[in-house]
Structure formats: C-alpha cells, structure tokens
Amino acid sequence: MGAQWKAKHKDLAANAKGRLFGKLAKEIMVAARGGADPASNARLRLVVEQARKVSMPKETLDRAIKKGAGLTGESVHFEHVIYEGFAPHRVPLMVECLTDNVNRTAPEMRVLFRKGQLGTSGSVAWDFDHLGMIEAEPTAAGADPELAAIEAGAQDFEPGEGEGVTMFLTEPADLDLVSRALPAQGFTVLSAKLGYKARNPVDPASLSAEALEEVETFLAAIDANDDVQNVFVGLSG
C-alpha cells in the first residue's frame, strides 16, 4: 500500500474492468505521441504489455495507439497533473491524473479532498521517492528476487500485490532496461510504471479500525474519479 493504493473490493464496482481499460487507453494515447511503434517507443511498449496482460481487446488497444499518434485525424491532448495532500488522519498521498480539462479536474479534486487536506505543490512530494515500479512473478520455482534485482540492475525489491509477486524498484531512467532484463532472471513482468513510494509511511496499526475505514473510503472516492490514473499512499503494509 505504501507504493500504490489499490481498492480492496474491486468486485463492488461493476465497471471496474472498463475503468481499468479507460485508464490504460489514456496512458497508451499519451505514450503514442512518441511514435506508434512499441518496438522503438519504450514507454508505449511497457503500457501495451500491461494492457495485453489484463486482456484489453486488440481493437481498443490499436485504436488508442492510432488516436494518440495522430493517425485518426482526431486531436487528443491529456495533461499530466499531480495533486498532493493528506487523507484523513494525516495519511500522505500523491494523486496522479491525466486530464483533457484541468479546469474540470482541479475543482473536483478540491471537493474530494474536503475530508482530508489538499496541499500545495511540494508539500507532500518531499516525503516520497519517484521510482520505477515493476511487478513481476517467477516463471519457475526457486527464482531468487534478490539475485534477479542485482543482475537486472534494480535498486531494491519488496513483496508485491498477490502471492509470489515481487515489486522491483528502479531509478526512473532504468525502468525499461530492468523490465527487459528480468525475464532472463526467471521473472515475468506483470506491470511496469513510474510511481511514488513514501519514505515514512504511516503504520496502519497506529490507526483504529474506524480511522482506517475512513482512510479507505476517502481513497476509494479519489480513485473513482475518471481523471485519476494512480493513487500513491503513505501507508505501510
């Protein structure tokens, strides 16, 4: 949770898969501005691989690439915006948005942060490291994440989401290089992106069950916003 918050009850959202495809389509369109060929566009390749792993329909994927690369004649522009602040009980978070209208997104964020605290630029970012985050699982029994991290050039590693999944942490510039190197070390890459990891995360055990529920409810509301791509939270565990 200290790296990227993910809702515990995705099954409660009937359109969860559709929202995931929508978020990935935005990332693909933004990445495709650097070229429509994943082989020569590292950023696009990483997002396309992630989209394929969650079974995004090929026609949806291809349409997003063409639209982002300007091959359909449509004008597409998404602005990358980071909102910083605190959830209830002073839990820090970074909210990453891709929006086609900042004048819509900004007031929506102000409303969503009413039960927390919306900060100014830099007010929370100082307590987060900007890193490459690669989720990977072993392709065979006995694959050693520590050895894989060393050989692939990762900065560090920690348990990821799900049984057997490892989160490899890299310098931002090394994200693609490490992603390409991990398969040779016995790991299949599930996702790879840039993100934020809290330096001093809040221990959930220090919060009451009621307080933790307030934080989860707040985060779920933030994550449900259509312009929000990722929510990075300073909660350990």
Helix axes 16-31, 58-68, angle to 10 degrees: 40
Residue-range domain boundaries for the chain: 10-68
Q: Please say whether the beta carbons of 19 and 218 come within 8 A.
A: no
Enter the DSSP assignment of 203. Answer: P
CATH of domain 10-68: 1.10.10.200
Per-residue pLDDT of the chain (237 residues; tens, 9 = 90+): 445 656 554 444 446 778 888 899 999 999 999 899 999 998 899 899 889 888 899 999 999 999 999 888 887 788 999 999 999 999 999 999 999 999 999 999 999 999 999 999 999 999 999 999 999 999 977 889 999 999 999 999 998 887 889 999 999 999 999 999 999 999 998 888 899 999 999 999 999 999 999 999 999 999 999 999 999 999 987
Enter the pTM of the model.
0.84
Torsion, CA 44, CA 47, CA 52, CA 58, rounded to 10: -50
> Cβ contacts of residue 12 below 8 Å, gap of 6+?
none
